[in-house]
Copies of this chain bind each other. A is one copy, B any other.
Amino acid sequence: MSAPDGGDPRATRAALVATGEELVRGGVSDGNSAWLARRLRSFGFAVSSIRVVGDGEAAIARAVGEAIAEAAVVVVGGGLGPTEDDRTRHALAVVAGVALTEDPAAAQQVAEWFIARARQPSASNRRQALLPAGAEPLRNPRGSAPGIALAVGGATLFALPGVPAELRAMFDAEVAPRLRAIGAAAPWHERWLQVVGLPESVVGERVAEWMARTGPPYVSDNVRYGVVTLCVSDRDDAAGRERAAACIAAMRATLGDHCYAEGEESLAEHVIRRLRAASATVALAESCTGGLVAAALTEVAGASHALVEAAVTYCDAAKSRALGVPPELLATAGAVSPAVACAMAEGVRRVSGASFGLATTGIAGPDGGTEKTPVGTVHLAVAGPAGTRQVVRRYPGDRAMVRQFALHGALDLLRRALP
């Protein structure tokens, strides 16, 4: 149960439309709508429905019409690209019953984007300047396609590019201020608690009383490979904020040091921040994660101050040459063993001169599993000023899942070793 249900008046409702043939074909899942729903709620708009349709103009128009009928704010994602099958702008013109005309401001934006990159806009790019008559172009900070703001059927409609980075940047830069202007009912206050190292079922049991509530504060969880994000939401007034704070405090108490952060900080962002605060550095020796840990850390801006280097050593020879793991140890203990994990962590710390060395070695599958060391077995080790700590994990799922679990397991181990 939750507040945003039917109970809300239309004035505080938002409806989403996601377009893209790959979405209705099952090629990919719609990842934008969950983000948009959270953002919209922070402005006081509760998403009442999400419609996912293909590239077809008729299908988009039908979905937009249905969305406008139920909500005061409609956000359409996708279909603004330069190709023939990008039909969102055409569908909006149909729904609004107006013509599609080239907008000078939009044309200017497209031109500027290409000029800034010393590239020539193609004829098809110029199609991106077409807007339904009376619509307002939205600046795209990340790409060439302008967005669209349009008042239609008593609703305010925003059309954004489907590329997640472009959609998010345009929402925050162009849509957010307009939503504030519309001024919905009292917005929702949200707080997050980030938990790592406990199964979802255990987290769920420990916070069951909160998740079962039929009145605010509402608690929902979102799980990603060993990281559980608890979201607490309540009315954005003094009483609501107080209830949310009490809920966060109570959950922190029962979850203890498995909570690594409040807010929307990712585990990688957290580790980089902690390392920089301690003027410490880390070097990585990755086997089964194959670069995932390095990729996650370097995704964080400023990671270069904390990450010295990473060595992805798949074969034994590389483990010995790059990290100084003794060949006889590899021969006796085996590459997937506590001893080799420790030797990798200590080796990369030594050769790089970093304050901490973090290592992963395991069986991600599908092949390589044995009776004694089945697929999913991962040894993690961290070497630091206080010595070396090592753990073994047995992760479920396929190759991709095991690697993602191992990524979070490794960062959790490093987190706990930091001053």
Contact = CB atoms under 8 A, between A and B. Distances in A.
A314 to B, nearest CB: 5
Contacts of A307: 290, 312, 314
Interface of A: 1-2, 4-7, 20-31, 33-38, 41, 46-59, 62-63, 66, 70, 81-85, 117-118, 122-125, 142-144, 165-166, 169, 199-205, 208, 211-212, 219-223, 231, 233, 284, 286, 289-295, 297-299, 301-304, 307-315, 318, 321-322, 351-352, 365-367, 394, 396-401, 403
Contacts of A293: 291
A401 B142 CA distance: 9
A201 B82 contact: yes
A313 B318 contact: no
A397 to B, nearest CB: 5
Interface centre among A59, A201, A311, A352 (most CB of B within 10 A): A201
Given A310-B312, A315-B308, A50 B49 contact: no
A144 to B, nearest CB: 8
Given A2-B85, A84-B212, A295-B292, A22 B398 contact: no
A406 B81 CA distance: 21
A382 to B, nearest CB: 18
A369 to B, nearest CB: 12
Contact of A291 (B212, B294, B396): B294
Given A28-B34, A29-B29, A54 B295 contact: no
Nearest to A66: B66
B54 A142 contact: no
> Shortest 5 CB-CB distances between A and B: which pairs?
A5-B56, A290-B298, A291-B294, A83-B204, A26-B37
A25 B231 contact: yes
B84 A117 contact: no
A335 to B, nearest CB: 11
A90 to B, nearest CB: 12
A66 B49 CA distance: 12
A34 B20 CA distance: 12
Nearest to A205: B124
B301 A311 contact: no
Contact of A394 (B26, B117, B318): B117
Contact of A143 (B56, B118, B318, B397): B397
Contact of A82 (B26, B200, B291, B321): B200
